[in-house]
Every structure is written in structure tokens, then in C-alpha cells.
A and B are shown apart, each in its own frame.
Chain A
Amino acid sequence: MNGDKLKIALYWGAACGGCDVAVLDTDEFVLELAAEADILFWPIAVDGKYEDIRALPDGALDATLFSGAVRNAENEDVAHLLREKSQVLIALGSCSAFGGIPGLANAVTREEILERVYLDNPSIELGNRTVPRTRVPVNGTELELPAFYPRVWRLSDVVDVDYLVPGCPPAPERVQEVLAALVSGTLPPRGAVVGAAEKALCEECRRRKADKRVARFVRPWEIVPDPESCLLEQGLPCAGPATRGGCGARCPDINQACRGCYGPPPGVQDQGATLVGAWASVIEAKTVEEAETAFAGLPDVLGIAHRFTLPASLLQRSCR
């Protein structure tokens, strides 16, 4: 980077703010970052308007960290704007990288969502049929809302992205490593997944794997898992076999099955498809009926197997 102070931006599209909190969770480091770099735009923590970014020359920002998926026209417009203004664009967190939790909305249609949220909902005032519109005339002027897209997109579906930092949210230690590499100019060549491992989570999980079969899958509330042995071998749909490591196995460490937030490991294109194979490998059924019984504890396969990666999956969205 040049001798001047680094100029960076952080932005959130369809996000919960957890990735911003992960940046703040780097504790004192965030102050060091602020000393090393001018943070020109960061809606959650720093004042700044879209106009300020529009006024910058193209490429004026050394880097932007974009968290959140692309759900509406505003998300996409700002993604294009920040892409133009940034030398390096980093997708921070699983929503930005794979669609994430907001991406689960791709299992239903836009119409179903609007119906459920604004029309067919017990908390809606009787007879109220107000549904958001992109343009609304009010007192002689017109108010504008960003268009709600029919589906959720990853950041890389709408602009070129230089790096992916997976995690929901990314572990603060990993975020710190990535930011430190950015400041020192030591990020790997563009296109890399950074702040994560190159192997599946099972490799870093400390649990004992015994190559054991289970009679059936269980819901998390049905058992108190043994703290030492593999959770999948106890019937919990652990996503570890098809999830990229790097988080430090934080969930298995507290007796929770991995939910898959780091997305697929290298070489795996479709996390859910690979999980289907991994989960099927631990039961013993020899007939379809036996398999149905063993999998009774796994009702929403799409939602569990693609909890964070539905828009990044081979089929991307429901075709209902």
C-alpha cells in the first residue's frame, strides 16, 4: 500500500450486525486499526453518508469489508458503489460470502414472504392490507423504498469480490488476522478464502471419532450429548464433515453440533449435498423404511444442510 494512511470502509447489506460486532470484538486491536487506517464509512460505528462515498474518486478506498447478503436494490446499489471506490473488496461473513441466514429465504418465494409478514400474520391489525411499495406518494411528494428482490444473492453474484472471510460471525481472532494482513499488505493473491483453514472442521475438532453407527438422528433437545465423543456419532446432524475449519471448533467445544457457518471446505461445491452423504453414512438402514425411521429426527434437510449456503448451492433457490 502507499505511504499514506490506509482508507477503508465497512458496510452491511442484508445482515444482523454480528460481523460488525466481530470487528469490535477484536478489542484493543480495533483502536490500532483506527490508528493505522482512516475508517471513512462504517454505518454501525462511524458517521458517514452514501454521498461522501459517491464524492470519492474511483479506487480511493484501499479496502471495503462488506458484510451481509444482497436482498434488495439498496444492497446492490451500495455494493456497486463500494466496488467502484475500493481497490480491494472483502466479503466479510457468511451472508456476504454464501447468502447466510438471510439466504434461507430462497426456500420460499417473495410473494410468500410478503404475504406472511404483512398480510397473514396474527399481529397485523384486522383488515390492514399495507404491503411495502417502491414508490409511495405522500403530501404531494414521492417516497422511495428499495425494491425487495425475488431472492437473495451473494455479494459475488452482483460484483467482483477479492476475498471471502467465512463465519457467522467470523471468529474475532480470524478477523484480526485478516485486518492485520490488510494493514501490512500481506494478504494472499486475490480470490482466496481468508481467515479460515484449508481443511474440514472435523480435522480441528477435539472430539473422539470411533467410526460408530447410530440407530437414528435426534433433535438437539432429545439428548444430553456426551462431551468427549463425536456429535454426529451420537445422532446429531453435525455439519463438521462438510464445513471449512478455522473457527477453532467453537460449537463442538460447547457440546453443540456445528451448524456449518464457515461454508464448504476446499473442493466441495455444494455443502448440503456433501452433508447428505456424510449424514447418510452413519446410519445402518438396509431398506427405505428403516432409513425413513432413522432420519425422522432430520425433518428440514434443506434448511439444516444449507443453513448458511442456500444461495451458493447448485440449485440456489426454490423453484416453487
Chain B
Amino acid sequence: MAFEPRIVGFLCNWCSYTGADLAGTSRIKYPPNVRVIRTMCSARIRPSFVLKALAEGADGVLICGCHPGDCHYSEGNYKTLRRQVLLKRLVAGYGIEPERVRLEWVSASEGQRFAEVVADMTERIRRLGPSRVEMLPSTRRAG
């Protein structure tokens, strides 16, 4: 069976989720590989959410927030941006390609852009192949 990337998308409510919604209502076609989770602000997306998604089998994680200067809570997306730099290094330390964790700014009017971001990320992850994170056993095990 051909590899279909599983991408978890965390979208802020005020810009990016609305942008994704616009992509839908405008009937723009884009790959169905992103499972969207809506948060109030991109700053709500804790690094642990991203790691948990990766630990549970996501091939990629897409974080979308308002453009710099446009965050509904004024500074939230700058916090997201600062964390993202360290988060990528942390992820790289685990031997995971940092491209699997992507941050993009998508405004409420950028339905087209959201579709392009998803298409581009799906394609890049398809080329990287499935995540090598072993699904971690819930039961104990050695070896």
C-alpha cells in the first residue's frame, strides 16, 4: 500500500482555522492528510502536544497561527515562533527530521495558502517517508 503521510495540524481559532475553513467553503482541493485540531491561539500548542503527536505515530505536525503582529492575543505567535526554534532542535536530537515539525502563518483570508501549505507539506513528508518513531508500547518491555 502506498504511504500516506499522517499529519496532525494544530490551527489557531482566529486566523488559521478560519483560513482552513475558507479553503473548504471555497471548495479548494488539497490532500486529506492533515487531521486538524483547533486551539485558541498558536501559543496554546505546547511543545509536549507536538511530541505526543510524534510519539503516537504522526509523520508530521503542522502548526498554523496568525501572521506576526496579527495574533488575537497580541504576542502569542511570537512565543510560538521562539519555542519552535528550540522544539525543532529537540526533535532533531531524537533523530527525527526537523522538517516534520512545521510552523506557518495563515490568515483568515488565506484559504488558498492553507491548501498550498498542506499540499507542500504532504509532498515533502511523502518524500521523507514514514516516521521512524517506534510506536511505544504501553506495557513494559526490555530488550
Q: Are A302 and B94 in contact (CB under 8 A)?
A: yes
In the bound complex, do residue A279 and residue B134 qualify as a contact, i.e. CB atoms below 8 Å apart?
no
CB within 8 Å of A: which of B56-84? 68, 78-79, 81-84
A269: CB under 8 A from chain B? yes
Stretch at the interface among B25-33, B47-55, B115-123: B47-55
Tell me, yes or no, whether A60 is within 8 Å of chain B by CB.
no
Determine if B87 is an interface residue (Cβ-Cβ < 8 Å). yes
Residues of chain B at interface, number, CB under 8 A? 34
**A-B CB contacts (within 8 Å), total count:** 111
The answer to whether A301 and B94 touch across the interface, beta carbons within 8 angstroms, is no
Complex interface: chain B residues within 8 A of A314 (CB): 48, 51-52, 54-55
Whether A302 contacts B93 in the complex (CB less than 8 A), given A157-B141, A288-B85, comes out as: yes
Comparing A3-11, A34-42, A253-261, A270-278, the segment that makes contact with chain B is: A270-278
What's the nearest-Cβ distance from chain A to residue B28, in Å?
27
* Given A273-B47, A286-B68, A319-B95, CB of A305 within 8 Å of CB of B90: yes
B48-A269 in contact (CB<8A): yes
A145: Cβ under 8 A from any B Cβ: no
Q: Give min CB distance, A260 to chain B, whole Å.
A: 14
| Of the residues B50, B79, B131, B136, contact of A316 by C-beta under 8 Å | B136
Whether, in the assembled complex, B96 has its beta carbon less than 8 Å from a beta carbon of chain A, the answer is yes
8 Å CB contact of B93 from A281, A301, A316: A301
Cβ contact within 8 Å between A276 and B132: no
Interface of B is mostly: helix
Question: Within A167-218, which residues are at the interface with B (CB < 8 Å)?
Answer: none
A65 at the interface (CB under 8 A from B): no
A34, chain B: closest CB distance, angstroms: 33
Cα–Cα, bound, A256→B102 (Å): 34
Q: Footprint of B on A, CB under 8 Å? A: 70, 73, 76, 107, 149-150, 153, 156-159, 269-270, 272-274, 276-277, 279-281, 283, 285-288, 291-292, 294-295, 298, 300-303, 305, 313-320
Some 5 contacts from A to B, beta carbons below 8 A apart, are A157-B142, A277-B47, A291-B81, A314-B54, A319-B132
Taking A270-B47, A288-B81, A320-B95 as known contacts, 17 extra A-B pairs with beta carbons closer than 8 A to each other, sorted by chain A number, are: A76-B142, A107-B94, A149-B142, A158-B142, A270-B48, A273-B90, A280-B82, A281-B82, A285-B81, A292-B85, A294-B82, A302-B89, A303-B93, A315-B51, A318-B93, A318-B94, A319-B132
